[in-house]
Amino acid sequence: MDNLMMLAGAIGFTPALILLFFTLKDYTYPAVEKPYFDDRKVFIMLSFGMIAGSIFFLVESVFGSASVLYLVLVVLLEEMLKFIVFNSRKYSGRVDTTFYAFSFGLGAGAIITFGNIYLALSSAVASGTFTLGGVLLFTVYGFMIAFLWGSTSAIIGLGALKKEPVHYTLLAIMIHLFYSIVLVPFYLNIEPWTYLSFAVVWFFMLYVFRQTYAFIIPSTIPPEARPDSKK
């Protein structure tokens, strides 16, 4: 494994693992006596998300930047796959579905980040434009993708729990479309919008993740049973 691959792996997986621990720590032991989900299944879903992320990365690499139409179709494909998985009989109506969906999304996002960053780092090294500032930008980008994939997946998971799949899936699709479309100037390096589009999307995704952390995830638990109600 070369150094660039190790660096891309660190940038891809670190945000996912940080958000996974930060978001779920209050819903499992030792924060609560009876966890609201199975820790083993969380990591299994993280692994399944990585497998799905590999497929998504391949699809995005082939079709994602061909046109706005292809971009929209890729977003629909990604979100509809999550819709199908988490509204299956195995997960529909279950309290723990949102947690597993969140973990699945972080796994998929980590692989997509890893792939994109590895390609970008390889290009930067080849062109002699590799800088520490670029690495910092890639790290911020990694958190942005983790915000996107974790949040949209948790939203779909909550819809499966509440058995209102269409409403919540449409919300996830709109968030993902905003992310993808507004970020086009950054991907295509369209001046003077390159970094402005990146900043707008990053803060938007930070807001979405804040809502996921504060409202979506807690909404899976009855109010009287939530960890913060016992503090």
Residue 32 lies in a domain: no
Residue 89 lies in a domain: yes
Residue 231 lies in a domain: no
Burial 13-38 (b: 16+ CB within 10 A, else e): bbbbeebbeebbeebbeeeeeebbbe
How many domains, in total, are found in the chain? Answer: 1
| Cβ atoms of residues 86 and 154 within 8 Å | no
Question: DSSP for 37-95?
Answer: S-HHHHHHHHHHHHHHHHHHHHHIIIIITT-HHHHHHHHHHHHHHHHHHHTSTTTTT-T
The C-alpha atoms of residue 51 and residue 74 are separated, in whole angstroms, by 17
Residue 93 lies in a domain: yes
Domain that holds residue 180: 3-24+38-221
Indicate the angle between helix axes 68-86 and 97-127, nearest 10 degrees: 150
Residue 112 lies in a domain: yes
Query: What is the residue-level pLDDT of the chain in tens, covering all 231 positions?
Result: 588 899 999 999 999 999 999 999 999 988 888 899 999 999 999 999 999 999 999 988 877 555 778 888 999 999 999 999 999 999 999 999 999 999 999 999 999 999 999 999 998 888 888 889 889 999 999 999 999 999 999 999 999 999 999 999 999 999 999 999 999 998 888 888 889 999 999 999 999 999 999 999 999 987 655 655 554
| Cβ atoms of residues 136 and 159 within 8 Å | no
